[in-house]
Amino acid sequence: MSNKILIISQNFYPEVGSAGNRIKNLYLQLKKNDHDVDVLTTEPTYPNKNIYTDDHFWDDEELNTDQNINRIKVSNKTYSRRILNRLFYYLKIAFKMLFFIIKDKQKYDVVLVTSPPIFIGFVGLIAKYRYRSKLILDVRDLWPDSLVGVGVFDYKIVIKVLKWLEKKLYKGSDEIIVNSEGFIQYITENAQINRDDISFIPNAANKSELASTIHHREEEFNVIYVGNIGMAQDVDILIKVAKELEQHHIHLNVIGYGVNQKEFVNECKVKRLTNITVKKPVSRKDCLNLMAEHQVGIVTLNNSNVFQTVLPGKVIDYMICGVPIVASVSGLSKRTIERANVGFVSEDRNVSDMVNYILLLKNNPDLRRKVSENGKAFVKDHFLWEKNIKKILELVRVKKQSHIGLSSYESNKINKVGRK
């Protein structure tokens, strides 16, 4: 049965990064399964609004002309390193979205909102009552713990308020989906949410992405780092690895963005590293093709407890492209890489170990090919949107109105109670 669904997200196509790609795929998959879906989002701003003046990023003509995508205009903003500045920026966007919802005359059976930022989550909570609909909360990161985890935010009063808001948001949601299994225990214990109300739906690839990535150039050996160079990533380790790779005449390509990107580039210049090429962000399609030309992909995360529960999107993207992984991570990321047998992990973040793993892959083409095959196979089994969307389809299923004056979701709850 088709339902009318509103997706609320600060990040969406054509933005780079896992968040925009995740919501784009949720939108497209729901539409393919005959649901009537609208999106409330912003103009693309992450990591910098200016880059989207390049038509290169707008590579999906169907989405470019889609009248169901409503975009809130935002100031020409570059993401700030100062957390308080960023929080005020998020609040401004949330208020603009609330104003849109208050004026909106549409009716929706389901509101699906994604967080962080946590303020956008609360836009979804208000939309639930505005439209009298079912609320599905998509949790992509644990706020405010991730702010504390990056080590630059220690405003205890603000943290206390955000923790209170976080709990209210979890309790106000009818269903919760998470992109990391590591979030489930945290949510059940800290917000007393029933485990049955939380579903694990990871970031994923679609079948066309898995089929379209080109084969590696085996006559070369290059290493790549893709994605955010921010406060959660360990920039120092990346620089140290690059320095040691230079001694082995191994080139490192970086397709990076984020608040620490300039610092990374400047530090490479100071150390006079000639084996690094830093490239500007590109569209997801081009990025996957660039990744697939490399023989090793690097992943780094800061050694903070909150990141024990995180699985970076680049881990899945490397698997999509069949790129063996060398990582300095722990927790869920480490377990996933080792379970899938798609690379090697230095849990204690030992740079020499990481470089030795890279050399091991360089000197063993058969091992490299095996690890590459493992990655693509693991994606087919666990990280395909065409499979994972089935759970979302169950969650958005809402019986149509059968009680006068009630929303379809309220009516459905009454029917459930009546059957008990």
pLDDT in tens, 257-316: 888 888 889 999 999 999 999 998 999 999 999 999 999 999 998 887 778 888 999 999
User: Could you count the other beta carbons within 10 Å of the beta carbon of residue 29?
Assistant: 20
CB 38 within 8 Å of CB 106: yes
Decide if pLDDT at 250 tops 60. yes
Listed residue (96, 150, 135) closest to 119, CA to CA: 96
Q: Which residues are within 8 A (CB) of 32 and not within 5 positions of it... i.e. 6 or more apart? A: none
Q: What is the mean pLDDT of the chain?
A: 88
Q: Express each pLDDT in 336-374 by its tens digit.
A: 999 999 999 998 889 999 999 999 999 999 999 999 999
What is the pLDDT at residue 307?
82
What confidence tier does 329 reach under pLDDT thresholds 50, 70, 90? very high
Between the alpha carbon of residue 256 and those of residues 112, 226, 238, 336, 347, the distances in Å are 29, 6, 12, 23, 23
In 132-155, alpha helices (H) = 145-149
SS3 7: strand
What is the pLDDT at residue 24?
97
Structure tokens, 339: 């379970």
Instruction: Tell the residue number behind the tokens 């489930």, with chain if given.
Output: 184
What residue ranges define each of the domains in the chain, with the CATH number in brackets?
4-204+384-419 (3.40.50.2000), 207-382 (3.40.50.2000)
What confidence tier does 162 reach under pLDDT thresholds 50, 70, 90? confident
Task: Measure the CA–CA gap between 57 and 73, rounded to whole angstroms.
Answer: 18
pTM: 0.89
Structure tokens, 262: 């300039």
Structure tokens, 38: 């609208």
Task: Measure the CA–CA gap between 85 and 80, rounded to whole angstroms.
Answer: 7
What is the pLDDT at residue 10?
96
- Average pLDDT over every residue of 144-162: 73
Sign of the torsion formed by the C-alpha atoms of 210, 225, 314 and 42 = negative
What confidence tier does 214 reach under pLDDT thresholds 50, 70, 90? low
Structure tokens, 315: 């881990």
Q: Express each pLDDT in 61-94 by its tens digit.
A: 999 999 999 999 987 555 555 677 778 888 999 9
Task: Measure the CA–CA gap between 397 and 392, rounded to whole angstroms.
Answer: 9
Structure tokens, 374: 């493992």
- Average pLDDT over every residue of 155-165: 84
